[in-house]
Amino acid sequence: MSEILRIAIQKKGRLSEKSLAIISQCGIKFGSDERVLKERATNFPLEFLYMRDDDIPAYIRDGVADIGIVGRNEMDEQGLPLVVLRDLGFSKCRLSIAVPHDFPYSGLKSLEGARIATSYPNILKGILEENTVSASFVEVSGSVELTPAVGIADAICDLVSTGATLAMNGLREVETIYTSTAVMIGRPEMGSTAKEAILERLLLRIDAVMKATSYKYIMFNLPVEHVQQVSALIGGLKSPTVTPLLSEGWVSVQSVVGEDRFWDVFEQLKELGAQGILVTPIEKMTE
Ligand code: ATP
Ligand code: MG
């Protein structure tokens, strides 16, 4: 049988949908029956294993899966000898310290001797040690926000994305100790050149998809005298494509612009007299 790469994906939760979306944007086709726990892509040598995110790092270490997608927090908490192959950027969250409103917090030192409830004792321990704070941990696997209210912890250390859950439970976020995004992880050595080759093909596609989503394609008309300024402003892959328009003194410009700079560029183009600005998403892109 020809070699296949096994990827572990969270079965159900905050990572599932976006993990599958990125694979699907790579043009890889697979079924969508939620009850299936193992399936093969139909047009790429990839097999999906669906499981709880906590189990993914150990499955990869043991060779049951070759690669997987987890929150960086999960990988760092478990501390297994795995490597980050790509930072996928989604499922952004932070690990924060939160305290009840009457807790006098003025920095990590305020946690000296406190009981802190968390599902991430290893990450927390590392940060507290760096700051020479000694505290005791109450390890819980869920509903961390409840623990101060029921008297088993003085503070918590939990994942936050908007902070709404903390506020609803009468807690105040006082310090971010760690930030996380979804990462694709694997073993330092794949153990098979055929698997390595498949992984390389997959990563090439993932890079193209990620690159594309971080850029926009932009087209607009511009008075010809501003071409040099615009070229310096937006750059493009090499330089912008400039074509003359029938109306004298005007050109049409096409280029790509990074999402992070987009509004800046847009405002400056308006100031330089750009008209008819069209912006479209890019599906795939390489440099
Ligand atoms: P599983 O049943 O697979 O063990 P889980 O309950 O451990 O699921 P989820 O709540 O689905 O996990 O979160 C998965 C990952 O999503 C987290 O490890 C984290 O990286 C990320 N994440 C993003 N935002 C948040 C948030 N607000 N709270 C918790 N996790 C978040
Ligand atoms: Mg989990």
**Res 2 pLDDT > 90:** no
**Res 1 pLDDT > 80:** no
Fold equal for 93-180 and 215-281? no
Mean pLDDT of the chain: 95
Ligand 1 atom nearest the C-alpha of 54 is 4
For 215-281, give the CATH class: alpha beta
The verdict on pTM exceeding 0.95 is no
Which residues contact residue 115 at a Cβ distance below 8 angstroms, ignoring those fewer than 6 apart? 135, 136, 137, 138, 152, 153, 154, 155
Ligand 1 pocket mutation, candidates 12, 34, 91, 183, criterion most atoms within 8 A of CB:
91
Q: Return phi, psi of residue 97, to 5°.
A: -90, 135
Average pLDDT value for residue range 260-276: 94
**Res 206 pLDDT > 70:** yes
Sequence spans of domains, the chain: 5-90+182-212, 93-180, 215-281
216-226 pLDDT, tens digit per residue, is 999 999 999 99
Q: Which regions of 194-274 does DSSP assign to beta strands (E)?
A: 215-223, 241-244, 250-258
121-162 pLDDT, tens digit per residue, is 999 999 999 999 999 999 999 999 999 999 999 999 999 989
Pocket around ligand 1 at a 6 A CB cut-off: 10, 13-15, 52-54, 71, 73-74, 91, 93, 159-161, 180
Ligand 1 pocket mutation, candidates 52, 159, 168, criterion most atoms within 8 A of CB:
159
- Expressed in angstroms and rounded, the spacing between residue 221 Cα and the centre of ligand 1 is 46
Say if CB 156 and CB 144 are below 8 A apart.
yes
State residue 237's pLDDT score: 74
**Res 185 pLDDT > 90:** yes
Q: In this prediction, what percent of the chain has a pLDDT beyond 90?
A: 90
Residue with tokens 């308006």: 270
Q: List the CATH code of the domain at 93-180.
A: 3.40.190.10
* H, E, C per residue of 61-116: HCCCCCEEEEEHHHHHHHCCCCEEEEECCCCCEEEEEEEECCCCCCCHHHHCCCEE
Say if CB 93 and CB 70 are below 8 A apart.
no
Ligand 1 atom nearest the C-alpha of 11 is 3
Its sign, for the CA torsion 190, 195, 197, 198, is negative
Q: List the CATH code of the domain at 5-90+182-212.
A: 3.40.190.10
